[in-house]
Each structure stands twice: as C-alpha cells, then as structure tokens.
A and B are shown apart, each in its own frame.
Chain A
C-alpha cells in the first residue's frame, strides 16, 4: 500500500458513485461496500439513517448487488481508480463467507475484508464478531478459501475486543480493522417509536472516535499482525491518534459525506506532520503513544 489512508467499507458504495469528487487513486486503498453471495434488499426503506450530535446512525441492512454483479460490473469500474481495491464480504454462515472469498481469489482485489459484525444465522442471529470462536470459524473458512491477504473487521459491541482480535490472528487473519459502528438507537419522541425503520442501527462519525481509539490501543497490544484503525476520523490529527494508538493504517468513512476529498486532505496533513517531526516513515511512530 502506497500510504496508510484507506476508505472504509459501506460509506463509499462501490466507488463509482463518488467519481470526479476527489483523486481517490491517490489513497492507499478503497474498501468497497460489503457484498454477500446473493443480492440483498436491505432494511425497510422508510428511514435508514439518522443524524445525531457529531454522528450518523445507519441501518441500511447490507443492501448489496451480490457477488456476481460485483465481479462483473462493480469491481472493474472501481479498479479504474488505479489503487488497491479491497472487497468486503459477509454472510449468514461461514460457508457463505468462504464462497465469496473463493470467488474473489481469481479477481484483482488486493485483499478481502471480512465483515464479522453481521448476524450469524446458525447462532440465532448473534453477530459472528461478538464471540472469539465464531469469529475464528469465519476467518478459518476464509483463510482456506483464498490466498489473498485477509482483514477481519471487528465489532466494538462486546465487553472485551482483544480476545476476538487474537482469535482472528490465530485463525489466519493478516490484519484486523476496527471499529465497525457502535450499536445505537434514536427515538422519535413525537411518534414514541424508534426513528429508524429497523429499530436500531450503528453509530459512526466523530462521536465514536475516542471510544474507537481506545479499542485500537487495546487490540494493538494484544496482536502482532497490523491493525487498521477507524471510527470518526475527520482530519489528520484524528488519523494520527489512531496511528499513535497502534494502527498501521486508517480508514475514513462518515467524513466523506461532508468532504468527499477528506482522504486526500488527511494524507496531506499526515505528510506535513511527518515533515514537522522529522519522520522518515510513519511506521516509526505506530503505537508509540505511551502513558507518561
């Protein structure tokens, strides 16, 4: 990867939607919207997102075009950006994850990110990522199905995230990325019901940043594989917080809806920081934040 600034999954669609709004080819990698074996319609459409203080709650429900259309139509367009394209995959079962990973093995994706925050149908809909064993089961299944680098994307909706991260490492993940969104709810007080049609959703944006930085700090001390940090990054300073907490790279999401060129702005800001601090490489400061 030519630099550590990536675009996070979901926010960026399949990439083509943002064409012309920034030089996305300049970024280290673009993670496209999560795909599943078959197309999914997602949650009811009445209200899928809600703006909150410094945040955004979404409940899209993994609406996606499915693996076949992704490979035939979406991926070729995304590759035109000329940088690393990462596919994000999900499924109701470990077999569905491995099916997607196998199909992507012959494609031009640079890596596969495993979205283990989605519900595990065999375990009553509980997310794979809330349990070290079910997380490892999915990672192992994907590991056996592809030679591509695999990244396990962790959910923060768990008491202790580090055991899940170490389980993913043991099962063959090449990196972990965190955090996905925080479980959240918005109530419409006039109608006295949840605002989102799905009832609950996931919170992203600056509101979650300190909580995400803490989790990156915890995980970086528990694993030896690279950690990719994300959660509410808005500027270079925010990105550097994650890097100092132990992330080798960062992903940006919600900020793109305000500033489609945020990735380029953050990349330039990190460059200025390195210059100002006389750093030859960013790697020298990864995880260097210590209690004084």
Chain B
C-alpha cells in the first residue's frame, strides 16, 4: 500500500479472485444477514471502506448463464477477523441479497476483492468522527476497530430509521443518548439516534456536536444515504477534512465499464468511478451540485 499525493491509500494494481468458504451465516434484525467468509488474501490486504464483489450463484455454476443476478453484487467489508476471515452485512432483498442470505456454512462463494480505495486517517489527526446512517453502519465496525489504535479518540455518530432497522442491539438504558454496545466495545464513543424514537437524523447529531471538535486535528468520515452525505458535506464545507463513501450502481467493480461514475470538481466535466477511484473520496473533490440526489 502506498500513499498517493492526494492522501489516498493506493490500491494494489491487481485484484484477488478467491473461492471463499462460508464459515458463518446468520440472520440479523432489520432484514439483515451476516456472512463470515474465509478469504485470507482479502483479509490480509483490506482497508476499511473497501468492498468485495460477490457472484451470488454457486462457483461451480459459473459456466451456465443465470437468468437473474447476472452481475456480481458489491458489499463493503464489515469486519476483518484475522488471520483469514472477512465479514459482510447484507440486506435480504433483491435477487442477489436473497440468494446470498440462503448460503450455509461450508458453501463457497466466488469473490473479488478487496476493491476500491478505503478510509485512512491523515497522520496529524487526533480525533475521527464517523458519521454512519442506515446501511452505512455495515462498514462501521471495521472502520472503528482500525482507527481506535491509530488515533486518540473515535466518535461514532450513528442513525437509522428505527432501532429495529439496524443489525445491532441498541441500548437506550435510562439516560440519553442511546448507544450500540457492540460497536462501543470496538473502541469508540457511540451515539445512536433513530428517526422513529428520537425524531432525529444522524446529521442532527453531527450538527449539535460540531463546535466541540478542533479543526486542525479532527477528520470526519461519513457513510450512508446520498441525502445524508449531501447534508454533511454542506454542513462541513471546508471547516474539516471530510471523507465520504459513495454508493452507485455498479457492473464490473474494477473501473472498466464506467457505470458507477460520480462528478468531480476539477477537469471540467470529468467523472470518477466509485468502484476503483472510490468508494471513499475526499468530499472536496466531489461536485455536490452535479451529484444526483
């Protein structure tokens, strides 16, 4: 891994394709599903924010054209369990997600990865604020776990439509605010809100806390729905360095097909691929005006 001049962590010039054994397959609340895969080549290289591209059918059927789920499905890496495990959290919906949620331990999956550029805190950073909304919570455990030993403080501001729509147990205890104990245990101060119970969005949590962070030593990393990211980018402006993880409809996953492009500010009219040049971007690079809602 080398660092490039724009602060990104470089990705390897080649991609791994592995036949990964399903070690654990577990249904979780909110129509989520957790898969633990044995994939040493991916586990050893992965950076938080990177993703894998999964063929949803049995690997041995690759020579037969499927009528549905003809493309691989991208899933961000939720946790790395060294020496050889990677975990993904998927939504049980659509053809691909439903097929993958049915896989049992002992089965194998054809997986490409790790793909794309991940999150990486800059050298001088003391505090990282992770802002995660909805399915954006999927890569949060890996991110928190990686950052915790690197910086002085990790704060995870998490939000969802309802307590029961996330794949973790929410602890509301007796006092405000709510937290997610399993994520706090990875080394972060975790604050959780749900629209249903608190009538708050995760952007509101950030807005309330923003004044307590030092601009020179704090970075913000945001993962979640496009509307949330747009609001966070607007709120932060140039006050803090902000990294965002973008999602877009993908086909190849390696930067060839140009399906998943997003508009960037420099080189008028130019686009960058989410799959290869993202999914994590410096927010200053994104042309938020032209980015589709």
Q: Chain A: residues with CB nearer than 8 A to chain B?
A: 10-14, 17-21, 33, 41-42, 44-51, 53-56, 58, 60, 63, 197, 205-206, 232, 234-235, 238, 254-261, 265, 269
Contact = CB atoms under 8 A, between A and B. Distances in A.
A115 to B, nearest CB: 15
B152 interface: no
The 9 tightest CB contacts between A and B, nearest first, are A20-B14, A13-B256, A206-B65, A46-B292, A234-B65, A17-B256, A49-B259, A41-B269, A45-B261
Contact of A18 (B66, B110, B251, B254): B254
A13 B64 contact: no
Contact of B70 (A12, A14, A56, A265): A56
Contact of B257 (A11, A20, A47, A259): A11
Contacts of A14: 256
Interface string B27-55: 00000000000000000000000000001
Interface in B177-200: none
29 contacts: A11-B256, A11-B257, A17-B254, A17-B255, A18-B256, A20-B13, A20-B16, A41-B269, A42-B261, A42-B271, A48-B258, A49-B257, A49-B259, A50-B249, A51-B70, A55-B70, A58-B259, A60-B257, A63-B258, A63-B271, A197-B292, A206-B65, A235-B64, A255-B65, A257-B70, A258-B71, A260-B112, A261-B17, A265-B63
B72 interface: yes
Given A13-B257, A54-B70, A58-B257, A257 B251 contact: yes
A167 to B, nearest CB: 31
Contacts of A56: 70-71, 251
B17 A21 contact: yes
A48 B64 contact: no
Interface in B13-27: 13-17
A17 B55 contact: no
A12 B256 contact: yes
A258 B271 contact: no
A58 B13 CA distance: 26
The winner among A33, A41, A53 for most chain B CB atoms within 10 A is A41
B249 A48 contact: yes
Contact of A60 (B248, B259, B269): B259
Given A42-B271, A49-B251, A54-B70, A17 B276 contact: yes
B211 interface: no
Nearest to B276: A17
A197 B271 CA distance: 15
Given A18-B254, A258-B55, A63 B65 contact: no
A19 B11 CA distance: 13
B45 to A, nearest CB: 13
B174 interface: no
Nearest to A206: B65
B254 A45 contact: no
B259 A53 contact: no
Given A13-B255, A259-B62, A19 B261 contact: no
B260 to A, nearest CB: 8
A12 B256 CA distance: 6
Contacts of A238: 65
B107 interface: no
B262 interface: yes
Given A51-B69, A51-B71, A259-B63, 8 more contacts: A17-B252, A17-B254, A18-B256, A42-B258, A49-B259, A53-B68, A257-B71, A257-B257
A284 B258 CA distance: 39
Contacts of A234: 63-65
B99 interface: no
B220 to A, nearest CB: 24
A13 B273 CA distance: 12
B251 A45 contact: no
Contacts of B65: 54, 205-206, 232, 234-235, 238, 255
Contacts of A265: 62-63
B261 A48 contact: yes
A47 B249 contact: yes
Nearest to B274: A45
Given A21-B15, A42-B271, A47-B249, A54 B67 contact: yes
A234 B57 CA distance: 15
B257 A260 contact: no
A55 B69 CA distance: 9
A63 B261 contact: yes
Contacts of A206: 65, 70
